[in-house]
Structure 1
């Protein structure tokens, strides 16, 4: 279950407290007191067989004696009573329960879940603080204080953090729409609440304190959907825990759990921060300054020291300061005294009168190249701070949000700070905090852009999955955990990854020399041992061998070194490969491993034997396309070397992106792939080539598309067939289809568009087209019919789409066929496929909302078994048609 009955939890009409008491210090007494002290207007019931009245209110001995079933029940009773109470309340009609009680055993928690399931009842907790919804005066918690009403929702796994945030927010007059303590979250979790809060009109931003995620795909689907609607900001605990661990492969060692959480948060378009202070700073910044798109910052200050502090903070945070050009410098020279800084920070000098502030600010705001403006003011005896604020505010209000402020001090600037805050200007207590807020905004914007970027297709050929699987199956059949180097390279070749030629030979000098004669000198020689994964660590590698004599010596040296370092290791032979001469190449590592929470992950960074030491790596969740691969590479330091320097031309990055996409596809296709290292992968201006690779396999499936946290492209729904004398393909839409989809919409007749979306607009901005093409295949489907036109270009002929609720109770469908192709049966074909897909996903019923005048669509729906909804309100211009699939 996900959003079912969460309205009863967060906005109940009535509440009952089981275990309500007058015993000072008890949980039941605190919950009852908080509930009674709030402004909640609905009925409130106390249940406790030991009391007849509490605070002059009648107390009921059992749930059965209540005058009505409460929407929400709070359980503050012993652990053994929880499951029976859940069953009794479910039978009465209660649909939401907060289990405040701590100490439930796993069996008791499961019993509570089993009791709730027949009634589709939602359970929050156990061992939780409770829930607060200040806009209805609900304090259903044992927190020490109430919350102010506002527009920020806070969801936390830590009860201590709930009370800390309450105290912190109230002291700063920060209001909350909802505050939810998850506790041990046996039922209601982050995914559920993200889905609900994403469409909650009272919630402007969602704040999360996360310790762990237990349903990663649900979490990612909900987070991606919520982040498209409103800012979602995350504090994730455990950043410096056991993230880095020993592992057999470099990738396994580097892809620690915390950086995978980082990758998941980024991929979902959310923002991660480190502290509660940053959590609220980010929320306030995104609320007031999200519309700012500046990439650079100009610092305007009346104090040189404050400006230097801000510039230092910018350097630490990676914020670029705008460089004033000649025309801007001339205009600033006209407004400022001769001794101003003539640079950024723009120091207007401490004796600045009001008109110097306004002249400088108006000059900066008139030049888009100045970017965002950080307005810093320290109080002086020359002019009142509030006079400066009043004079500057009309300039700030006149345009787009570009000004952030830091009024330094306390009482002397309090009124000025209040004037700016009331006008919606984001204000910060220090220059450093303002710069950090700007850096957060840039990070958030990059994460959001990843959500709506139109990717380009990979150049990879279709993989030879059978050949790759054969290599893994051979190792599994022999009980080996690791593929040999030649086997690993065969897997890469099956997925289109270029590899250096490699010959595997027996552990004899004669065989090695024969292989070198076949390949040609110079060559590299490497040990092959099922017991050794890092060959160079035990002296098992020799490079640049130019002749037979040096090669023969290398055989003896490697055998001696390996036997000394690993006398227990079995030596299976050697590999011989030609030396690769790519003078401009950068060594890159590309890898894959399985995270314990989010499943398959992909790594990229600087390669070589010292990858752990250089610590230059970034990870991402699959599936990847070109845009996501580009974003992954951009987060590495080696990306700056790949961009070119001195006599090194820029590398052909598309080749690296295609390797990453190939690894993503391997993880989807090969369920037994547990770890992969391609290290080093040479990348230069000509392309990419893998010099070495290792693959670990697992006897149990650990990868595969169904184990991805984000469901990959469902290629099993791609079908080619004949239709009306043409060969068409019906397939799920891809993010890469944005341009093709735009051309399809532009060819539609306005009347057909009106029948489909109840308005005549055909031109959609990039953000809306991205939403139509970058879908969550776990909750949505858009099947397109496409064919080649007369010029051989693919064109979309029709689209059928479903969007399901998170519970998969029902999905709404919609179909549109190109105007000149109507009446040919394409709509029937698409809707029939859509029904088949919805049924395979376990959706209970398919629903369509159709204009009453759209008789062709109503006729089509009837022909496929859709029936009018008897509960449809009369007098509406719309018809609701339903097909039960279960």
Structure 2
């Protein structure tokens, strides 16, 4: 359940306070005071059997005595009374409740957990939504509702703030009032027994009163639900998040380096990044960042130029930028020459551009114009220290109105009274302004992070390769291991799994004895690597179970015998099945990398890339991402590591095979998405060089796949199983879900639609949709939206789209709104019926209650198609539209009149 009945929570027409009282310092008295002091225009009911009247209002003895069921109930009675009250309210018709009471904490088998479940059981039959328990309440400023026990209320504004911490809620509320920051909604989530951060994101994403969403979270319980809501919200408006609990946790016992290194905070970082949100470190940083994003427009890159009248301030900004890994742009010779012409001879001829303390307004404007026109500059930070030469306000007034060439301007006005008016002028003009160089740099880098995350959310990846993995082979290997009671594949099995997914692996042979190892080495050719083969030894190097660069048979015999002796002494209980022998691969100019996968308890499978080798955990150079990956996401993963900066080559050193490396990452992503039995995976080392990449060692842990209704993956991958081929009009047509790489094909598809057909499908006219529009059509969340396209492929492998059908479900799966179009030159060939019938089958299988759509009364082909597929048609209210409706499930409501 997500947004169903949340209107009753956030926009109620009537509110009942259960447990109202005037007892000083009580929750009930505080909530009553807040409800009474606000501008809420709806009906307020008070319930408490101890009073006949309260604060001059009637007070009812019980819920059943209320004159009408309230939309929203606020409960602050003792914990044991809450389940019964929820059941009574639900039966009366109330659809939302705020439970302020505590006492519901603890695991499910504890007393608090059992009572929490009792609340949900009482609410479920009535679809009553619960905020809390153990929360501070909520404030909906737009309707003047303060249903909380916070001290005071929030100013009205365009920010929505939701927090899992009650203490933080009251502190931020007090802090925001002193800084005149306003909110559309202020929400304390409490224990989130029902309404959680994902539900709030879904609701606020389409709330017209909210321009940006701010979150404080300490834990997410449902990773897939959160990611789906977060990605949808982040496409509509900025979503900023503070994640509590950043401290490193002790590495858990794991069968792989990846399992030990992929800490929970790294995974949250990856999830936030993948969702297109921005993570900040503190609540103060949260509000700084939202002001920055609201004011700074048009950021297209991360190269910053600093313009200052004080060298020291410029150095401080440069240090802050360097410490945070930002990019101080290197000014070109042409830009330097232009600056030479307008600046004193003593200026330092570098970035930061110090225009000297005696600079008049004209010097500011000239230098600023040159920086804005420089192709190597993406944004300008102006830092001003007050002087007696010219008032800061005069500089501000001219700068904010000067042409910028579309490049963002940030300002830092140092000082207090002397620069107050300058700051106000910048704020009024929508220019981000700060009181210190370091804060300005932090704000700029936050904007860069957000811009980068939004680009990843919207960028179009290249088409996937044509490699088809051998899934049956992988399932057989893993099935055999599980039936044998093994949780770890042998090295040869692990490499066989990788090879089945197109990952290059070094040839590996097994030997049951030292003599057989010598024989295998002779056949392979020297030098060779020799490794112990044991299901009980996870890290072979640490156990002395690896010998490298063995030059002849004597060396293999000696190394094998010594290896057995060490293992018997160090781990006498370990089962030794023999050895593996492989040709020695010279590292040369190559890099030892690690590619891995582990399973996070919240977000499911996660992928890891970084510096490999025996010291990979000690070096700690790695980055984490959520699958599925495409080539662009894989490149982003590589770029977030230190070793990633070396892989492109430097100073005469050739780079590695970048395409081969990215393909390995994409294929490993595909492997863990396809095979739920894989719990951990390491390729360490993955040797990467200019000639290619090859897995030298591999480790895969497996377990029986868990059953349940909750999605295993936080982001649903492309649903390959929904592809089908049909023979139609003498050609093969593929009906399949849309995927991000279809953007170019969509562009061509729109060119082949007539303006009339575009208007009939989209109720507007356009000829060349821009990238952002195409990205929304092709980069869909398969969890809550589906688009099937009918395609053909020509002899050159070029894909053409013949038609599409799309359905977007509400978050509760009650109904999905559909639309369909067939290319103008392909009409009358039965494509529309093929597509619509496929969507009906899909929606029914997914449990969607009904398909609904809208068309015009004169669109007879659409009406004929809809009726042929079982839809009913009824006139839309107030217009020439027709509503199409198809009930799909037993619980579906009757078709609209």
Q: TM-score range by the shorter chain?
A: over 0.9
Cα drift, residue 701 of structure 1: 3.3
Matching residue of 2:459? 453
Matching residue of 1:852? 857
Cα drift, residue 877 of structure 1: 2.0
Q: Does the 8 A contact of 1:460 with 1:662 survive in 2?
A: no
In the alignment, structure 1 residue 232 sits paired with structure 2 residue 235: no
Q: Does the 8 A contact of 1:455 with 1:625 survive in 2?
A: yes
What is the root-mean-square deviation of aligned Cα atoms in Å?
Answer: 1.7
Matching residue of 1:88? 88
* Segment of structure 1 superposing worse, 260-269 or 53-62: 53-62
Q: Does the 8 A contact of 2:136 with 2:149 survive in 1?
A: yes
Matching residue of 1:497? 503
Q: Distance in 1 between matches of 2:711 and 2:291?
A: 38
Of the three residues 584, 592, 596, the one matched with 1:579 is 584
SS at match of 2:441: helix
* Segment of structure 1 superposing worse, 458-467 or 446-455: 458-467
Q: Distance in 1 between matches of 2:362 and 2:460?
A: 47
Of the three residues 137, 146, 170, the one matched with 1:139 is 146
Shift >4 Å, 4+ stretches: 702-706
Q: Distance in 2 between matches of 1:483 and 1:370?
A: 52
Matching residue of 2:879? 876
Of the three residues 195, 203, 206, the one matched with 2:202 is 195
Gaps in structure 2 of 5+ consecutive residues: 105-111, 890-897
SS at match of 1:504: strand
Matching residue of 1:478? 484
* Segment of structure 1 superposing worse, 465-474 or 376-385: 376-385
What does 1:858-869 correspond to in 2, within 5 Å?
A: 858-869=863-874
Q: Does the 8 A contact of 1:482 with 1:530 survive in 2?
A: yes
Matching residue of 1:285? 292
Of the three residues 390, 393, 414, the one matched with 2:420 is 414
Q: Distance in 2 between matches of 1:460 and 1:556?
A: 46
Gaps in structure 1 of 5+ consecutive residues: none
TM-score by length of 1: 0.97
Matching residue of 1:253? 260
Matching residue of 2:108? none
* Segment of structure 1 superposing worse, 153-162 or 109-118: 109-118
Q: Distance in 2 between matches of 1:364 and 1:45?
A: 62
Q: Does the 8 A contact of 2:224 with 2:711 survive in 1?
A: no
Cα drift, residue 242 of structure 1: 1.4
What does 1:560-639 correspond to in 2, within 5 Å?
A: 560-639=565-644
Residues 1:791 and 1:352: Cα distance change in structure 2 (over 3 Å):
closer
In the alignment, structure 1 residue 707 sits paired with structure 2 residue 708: no
Cα drift, residue 790 of structure 1: 6.2
Matching residue of 1:434? 440
Matching residue of 2:32? 32
Cα drift, residue 702 of structure 1: 8.2
Residues 1:541 and 1:704: Cα distance change in structure 2 (over 3 Å):
farther
* Segment of structure 1 superposing worse, 564-573 or 442-451: 564-573
* Segment of structure 1 superposing worse, 825-834 or 10-19: 10-19
Matching residue of 1:806? 811
SS at match of 1:536: coil
1:44-82, CA deviations, whole angstroms, 9 ceiling, x for partnerless residues?
A: 222111122222222122222222222211001111111
Matching residue of 2:693? 688
Cα drift, residue 386 of structure 1: 1.9
Q: Distance in 1 between matches of 2:62 and 2:707?
A: 49
Matching residue of 1:99? 99
Q: Distance in 2 between matches of 1:719 and 1:460?
A: 17
* Segment of structure 1 superposing worse, 541-550 or 640-649: 640-649
Matching residue of 2:788? 783
Q: Distance in 1 between matches of 2:868 and 2:484?
A: 56
SS at match of 1:235: strand
Q: Distance in 2 between matches of 1:411 and 1:772?
A: 51
Cα drift, residue 700 of structure 1: 4.3
Q: Distance in 2 between matches of 1:497 and 1:79?
A: 57
Q: Distance in 2 between matches of 1:284 and 1:667?
A: 40
Of the three residues 751, 755, 760, the one matched with 1:750 is 755
Cα drift, residue 387 of structure 1: 2.5
1:720-778, CA deviations, whole angstroms, 9 ceiling, x for partnerless residues?
A: 12111111111111111111121111111221111111123131111111111111111
Q: Distance in 2 between matches of 1:869 and 1:611?
A: 65
In the alignment, structure 1 residue 110 sits paired with structure 2 residue 117: yes
Of the three residues 362, 366, 376, the one matched with 1:369 is 376
In the alignment, structure 1 residue 885 sits paired with structure 2 residue 892: no
SS at match of 1:736: helix
Matching residue of 2:339? 332
Q: Does the 8 A contact of 2:248 with 2:263 survive in 1?
A: no
Cα drift, residue 34 of structure 1: 0.9
Residues 1:732 and 1:608: Cα distance change in structure 2 (over 3 Å):
same
Cα drift, residue 348 of structure 1: 1.7
Matching residue of 2:470? 464
* Segment of structure 1 superposing worse, 733-742 or 648-657: 648-657
Cα drift, residue 565 of structure 1: 2.5
Matching residue of 1:400? 406
TM-score by length of 2: 0.96
